[in-house]
């Protein structure tokens, strides 16, 4: 969709990346670290001071303790962390429960490792998980359940009740969890992010995935990290070591200083909530319908009052004829389910959101 947006000079609200910059302070810090000669391989686990700073952050935010040497690893983005976690534990014939719609890197990573994705769909209209549906597909071959909160593409969030239901489901089993929490700091309307780490019955079996890219408007840096209990982290590292060995050194050192000095991630929810509200104000008088996103930087718009076209066709036509690019949500399902919903990324400057809103209101 980004290529199509470029070709037609459309406003690109399709791909999930901010069009505003990283904090200049952080950029200067990276530059400083490069000039200071920190340009060679970092340790495989990641720079120790960064791991320590992240453990402190987990304790401050969620009241949980992780060991900086044994239970956290810096990665080259959330995607690599997800791939490494799946590769560490999934063997030929293992079943992995995937809640759909799902971020696009999950299923290929499961299949490349010989695993079998088993699908459960989120339930409209708020795109929440029906835990009975999950229970029905659990078998003796279930190895992993993958969850994602706040959710891409649906913008929904899991509640404390969801976490308790999941905890009940896996109790007494060997099922592991991969919890994709890359949007942990982007959650709206006074809700609190529910990390699996707060639930002992989940934390003991979970790989938790985070991304510096989402938190610091730096998706192109491809930096992330993974928390897991010692036994799981030992397996994770066996894989991580031979996929990338280690991740960008100067950025890790810059992040140490930045995280220690600033908790600006606390302002991220407010910042993105204003963006969501601004975008929704622009499209309020359009023929699109919406339920405000609860988290992430994606807003769904329902176009069922405009056309009966398939979402894939309409997303293309909207780009070509109306000059706004989005992502059709059916592509996040293994068998396209057409909910007549398009996903728009509102991590954009207000002028761009305003222009997009004007175009959408003309329809």
Ligand X SMILES: Cc1ncc(COP(=O)(O)O)c(C=O)c1O
Q: Determine if 247 is a binding residue for ligand X (CB under 6 A).
A: no
**Residue 222 CB, nearest approach to ligand X (Å):** 6
Nearer to ligand X, 178 or 283 (CB): 178
Beta-bridged to residue 108, according to DSSP, are: none
Q: Give the residue with the Cβ less far from ligand X, 77 or 117.
A: 77
Q: Give one DSSP letter per residue of 161-211, joined into a string.
A: HHHHHHHHHHTTS--EEEEE-TTTT-B-TT-----GGGSHHHHTTEEEEEE
**By C-beta, is 113 or 215 nearer to ligand X?**
215
User: One symbol per residue from 84 to 123: x for binding ligand X (CB under 6 A), - otherwise; what is it?
Assistant: -------------------x--------------------
Return the DSSP state at 128.
B
Between 45 and 219, name the residue whose CB sits nearer to ligand X: 219
CB of 293 to ligand X, least distance (A): 13
- What is the C-alpha separation between 270 and 277, in angstroms, rounded? 10
CA 182 and chain centroid, separation: 4
Report if residue 152 touches ligand X, rule: CB under 6 A. Answer: yes
Closest separation between CB of residue 182 and ligand X, Å?
4
**Number of amino acids touching ligand X (CB under 6 A):** 14
129 in Cβ contact with 99 (< 8 Å): yes
| Token duo for residue 182 | 């890359």
Q: Pick from 115, 224, 250, 295: which binds ligand X (CB under 6 A)?
A: 224
Q: Which is nearer to ligand X, 156 or 286 (CB)?
A: 156
357 binds ligand X (CB under 6 A): no
Among 180, 194, 257, 311, binds ligand X (CB under 6 A): 180
Round to whole Å and give the CA distance between 265 and 187: 11
The DSSP result for 246-289, as a single string, is S--HHHHHHHHHHHHH--GGGGHHHHHHHHHHHHHHHHTTSS-B
Give the Cα separation of 198 and 167 in Å (integer): 11
Q: Are 213 and 78 in contact (CB under 8 A)?
A: yes
Decide: is 295 part of the binding site for ligand X (CB under 6 A): no
d(CA 195, CA 58): 10
* Cβ-based nearer residue to ligand X, 203 or 327: 327
Of 179, 211, 215, 246, the one binding ligand X by CB under 6 A = 211
Figure out which of the listed residues 46, 77, 101, 117 binds ligand X, where binding follows CB under 6 A: 77
Please say which residue, 142 or 296, places its beta carbon nearer to ligand X: 296
Applying CB under 6 A, does 282 fall inside the site for ligand X? no
Identify the three-state secondary structure at position 147.
Answer: strand
Please state at what angle helix 78-89 crosses helix 230-243, rounded to 10 degrees: 110
The footprint of ligand X (CB under 6 A) covers 16, 77-79, 103, 148, 152, 180, 182, 211, 213, 219, 222, 224
């Amino acid at each position: 969709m980004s290529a199509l947006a470029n070709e037609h000079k459309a406003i690109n609200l399709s791909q999930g990346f901010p069009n505003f910059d990283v904090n200049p302070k952080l950029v200067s810090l990276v530059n400083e670290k490069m000039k200071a000669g920190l340009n060679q391989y970092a340790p495989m686990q990641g720079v120790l001071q960064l791991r320590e700073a992240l453990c402190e952050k987990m304790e401050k935010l969620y009241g949980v303790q992780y060991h900086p040497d044994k239970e956290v690893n810096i990665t080259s983005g959330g995607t690599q962390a997800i791939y490494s976690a799946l590769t560490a534990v999934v063997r030929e014939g293992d079943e992995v429960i995937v809640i759909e719609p799902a971020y696009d890197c999950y299923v290929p990573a499961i299949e490349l490792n010989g695993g079998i994705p088993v699908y459960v769909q989120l339930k409209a209209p708020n795109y929440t998980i029906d835990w009975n549906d999950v229970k029905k597909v659990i078998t003796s071959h279930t190895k992993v359940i993958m969850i994602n909160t706040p959710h891409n593409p649906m913008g929904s969030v899991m509640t404390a009740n969801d976490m308790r239901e999941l905890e009940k489901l896996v109790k007494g089993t060997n099922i592991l969890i991969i919890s994709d929490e890359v949007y942990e700091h982007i959650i709206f309307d006074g809700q609190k992010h529910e990390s699996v780490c707060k639930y002992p019955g989940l934390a003991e079996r979970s790989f938790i995935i985070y991304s510096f890219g989402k938190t610091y408007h730096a998706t192109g840096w491809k930096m992330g990290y993974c928390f897991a209990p010692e036994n799981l982290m030992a397996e994770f590292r066996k894989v991580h070591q031979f996929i990338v060995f280690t991740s960008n050194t100067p950025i890790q050192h810059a992040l140490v200083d930045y995280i220690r000095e600033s908790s600006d991630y606390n302002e991220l929810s407010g910042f993105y909530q204003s963006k969501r509200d601004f975008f929704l104000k622009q499209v309020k008088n359009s023929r699109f319908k919406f339920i405000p996103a609860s988290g992430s930087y994606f807003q769904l718009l329902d176009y069922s009052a405009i056309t009966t076209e398939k979402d894939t066709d309409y997303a293309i036509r909207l780009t070509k004829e109306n000059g706004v690019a989005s992502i059709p949500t059916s592509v996040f399902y293994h068998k396209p389910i057409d909910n007549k919903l398009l996903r728009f990324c509102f991590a954009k400057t207000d002028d761009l959101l305003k222009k997009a809103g004007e175009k959408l209101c003309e329809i």
